[in-house]
Amino acid sequence: MDFTSQYCPQRKHLEEWSWNLVSRLAVLTERLMKLVGKNHREFIAAKDECAGVRLEILESYHQILAHRSAHGC
């Protein structure tokens, strides 16, 4: 990888967005596990939030792939 693509600001932004989403999912998963058997309503809400973040992660993955294809970085 050349110097230009190594420091691509758009790619960096997309990768940081993905990292933040994965970190958020980890926190949500921990919360979800603590809710098992305690509060069904909060558990369902947390489960739905996890599903939403997983969809965002998938979207970020597709955007990174599209960026790499378009810019070679």
Q: Would the pLDDT of 3 be above 80?
A: no
For residue 11, give both structure tokens: 């790619």
35-55 confidence digits (pLDDT tens): 999 999 999 999 999 999 999
Continuous segment of H or E residues that includes residue 58: helix 40-71
Q: Would the pLDDT of 13 be above 90?
A: yes
pLDDT for res 72: 82
pLDDT for res 5: 54
Task: Please give the Cα distance from 13 to 54 (Å, whole number).
Answer: 18
